[in-house]
Amino acid sequence: MRKIRTYQDVTHETGSDLLEQVVEQQRRLAERLAQVRSVVAVASGKGGVGKSAITANLAAALAAKGLAVGAADADLNGPSLARMMGVSGARLADRESGVSPAQSPSGVRVISMELLQEEEDAPLRWREPGMGGFIWQSTLETGVLREFLGDVEWGKLDVLLVDVPPGTDKIGRLLELVPDVDQMLLVTTPSETSRFVVSKSVRMAREATVGTVALVSNMAGHTCSECGHVSELFTGDGANRLEEESGVPVWAVIPFDPRLGAATDSGTPLVISDPEAHSSRAIFALADRVEEHVGIRAEDAAEEGGS
Amino acid sequence: MKFLCLDCDDVMVFAERQIPGDGTLAAVFTCGSCGREMAMLTNPMETQLVSSMGVKIGGREVPMQPMELARTSLEGGREDAFALSEDIPREPAIPGESTNAGEATAGRVVWTSEAAGRLERVPSFVRGMVKRIYSDWAREKGVSEITPDVMDRARTELGLEGM
């Protein structure tokens, strides 16, 4: 059998320029994110645990503390962040340096697929062949997420929050684009099922190069607004068990509050409309933890480089 | 992906790309030693896989535009999602932050009313992107005024059919 040189053996350029274009995409993304002190992913792996509502409220809380904050809705198929931040229908400006994000009333710069879609009830669909979507759809959506992060004129930010959709694969998708995510907040509920699913995300985050990983226990009990009695919504102690098993700390315990959902439905996060609510105070405490860790990774890297 | 001329044991080099408009693509590669040519033909799915990466075989005529992939791939894009920068004054989100008010003044090109009218017919979802492509081309060529004729020249040179 004749010996044919392998791909790796052939080192000459082919002129197809594909690798060079991919490298250029990565360069643009890195250049944009160089203006961001901390990329903070709000993820879970589990659906329905309140990631987007926490992202919206955390973004507003950080902005209220005086930080420059951006929020990218990585959930292309079920976008909700624009609505929750009160920027539905906002127009994006084409500028020399990129596309300007929407500006929420709470001072957060927002990008979401909702801002690009004409019809409210339209599922996300792409042009091109109707067949074989499973082959290229993930590639395309990763590319669009890269554009959300890299082509939006974020400006100088202290924190860029990324609302990551359910599924550990979506966490992996983000980490491929942004390997040096500074903080990853993994949202769970007290339920055992949630603990089981989120444990996979904990492992993924810890095996990656994420700077700091922390848990957020959401819907942790309901306080009666009349008598103050606290009742449990879920049996189990998922977040604490996960903390004990993995060593990943719980940074926030956020009680269930129907007003939190109502506030985000109206486009005004609860931390703005009622900053004294139990849930708001828990989210402000979370914002304190996030702020404490902003820039730590960069400072550590600078120290290592200087030593 | 590389093509090897087995007779010469030499890598074949990209020479030409053709897009017939049916979702397929033809890319011609040539052996630098013996001159043999071959065409790589991709079906619509394969073509889409490559374009989903935001890359073009053989390189790009114009630089990647901001959110180009989303704008050219999304079905049902919102007609008024994007506005030209001059229609939306930029407000600093951070006190004291520059608004880049003069960002487009350097090497500015003027659009004649006829050219602007033609640009108006481009769907607004991609209009800003198209405007920038023409403006960049004009600046590069030292053209200070964009007319329909200039647009035609740019379109032909850059292979921008439909813009």
CA-nearest residue of chain A to B10?
A10
Separation between Cα atoms, residue A254 and residue A57, nearest integer Å: 12
Nearest 5°: the CA angle A44, A47, A53 is 75
Q: Does B136 touch chain A (CB under 8 A)?
A: no
Separation between Cα atoms, residue A7 and residue A17, nearest integer Å: 16
Q: Does B91 touch chain A (CB under 8 A)?
A: yes
Q: Note whether A14 contacts B79, CB cutoff 8 Å.
A: no
Which chain B residues are Cβ-neighbours of A124 within 8 angstroms? 74
Interface ipTM: 0.87
Per-window interface: B 27-66 vs A, CB < 8 A: 27, 29, 44-45, 48-60, 64, 66
Separation between Cα atoms, residue A178 and residue A159, nearest integer Å: 14
Quote the crossing angle between the two packed helices A258-265 and A51-64, to the nearest 10°: 80
pLDDT band at A297 (very low <50, low <70, confident <90, very high): low
Phi, psi of A89 (to 5 degrees): 85, -5
Least confident of A24-33, B92-101, B136-145: B92-101
Asked if the model's pLDDT at residue B93 lies above 60, the reply is: no
Separation between Cα atoms, residue A26 and residue B82, nearest integer Å: 24
Phi, psi of B98 (to 5 degrees): -65, 145
Separation between Cα atoms, residue A293 and residue A284, nearest integer Å: 14
The segment with the largest mean pLDDT, out of A93-97, A98-102, B156-160, is A98-102
β-strands A212-223, A250-256 pairing: parallel
Per-window interface: A 61-90 vs B, CB < 8 A: 68
Residue B153 Cα, gap to closest chain A Cα (Å): 23
Instruction: Give the nearest partner residue to A136 out of B12, B52, B67, using CB atoms.
Output: B52
Write down the pLDDT at residue B95: 46
Write down the pLDDT at residue B94: 47
Per-window interface: A 91-110 vs B, CB < 8 A: 91-100, 103, 107, 109
pLDDT band at A130 (very low <50, low <70, confident <90, very high): low
Rg (CA), chain A: 21
Residues with Cβ within 8 Å of A226's Cβ and at least 6 positions away in sequence, in order, are none
**How would you class A153 by CB atoms within 10 Å of its CB: exposed for 0-12, middle for 13-18, buried for 19 or more?**
buried
Write down the pLDDT at residue B102: 41
Q: Does A29 touch chain B (CB under 8 A)?
A: no
Which chain B residues are Cβ-neighbours of A4 within 8 angstroms? 4, 6
User: For the segment A263-286, what is each residue's pLDDT rounded down to a tens digit?
Assistant: 999 999 999 999 999 899 999 999
pLDDT band at A175 (very low <50, low <70, confident <90, very high): very high
Which chain A residues are Cβ-neighbours of B106 within 8 angstroms? none
Write down the pLDDT at residue B88: 65
Outline where DSSP puts E strands in chain A: 36-43, 69-73, 92-95, 98-99, 102-103, 109-111, 157-163, 183-188, 212-223, 230-231, 250-256
Write down the pLDDT at residue A127: 83
User: For the segment B147-156, what is each residue's pLDDT rounded down to a tens digit?
Assistant: 999 998 888 8
Separation between Cα atoms, residue B82 and residue A142, nearest integer Å: 21
Q: Does B134 touch chain A (CB under 8 A)?
A: no
Report DSSP state, residue A153. Answer: -
Residue type, A295: G
CB A248 within 8 A of CB A204: no
Separation between Cα atoms, residue A79 and residue A44, nearest integer Å: 16
User: For the segment B55-76, what is each residue's pLDDT rounded down to a tens digit?
Assistant: 988 888 888 889 999 998 999 9
Report the Cα A108 to chain-centroid distance in Å.
14
Residue A229 Cα, gap to closest chain B Cα (Å): 42
Q: Note whether B88 contacts A68, CB cutoff 8 Å.
A: no
Write the secondary structure of B24-41 as one string of H (helix), E (strand) and C (coil).
CEEEEEEECCCCCEEEEE
pLDDT band at A233 (very low <50, low <70, confident <90, very high): confident
In total, the C-beta contacts within 8 angstroms joining chain A to chain B are: 190
Name the residue among A108, A148, A167, A156 with its Cα closest to residue A287.
A108
Average pLDDT in the A157-161 region? 97
Separation between Cα atoms, residue A217 and residue A235, nearest integer Å: 13
User: For the segment A7-34, what is each residue's pLDDT rounded down to a tens digit?
Assistant: 999 888 888 888 899 999 999 999 999 9
pLDDT band at A301 (very low <50, low <70, confident <90, very high): low
Write down the pLDDT at residue A270: 95
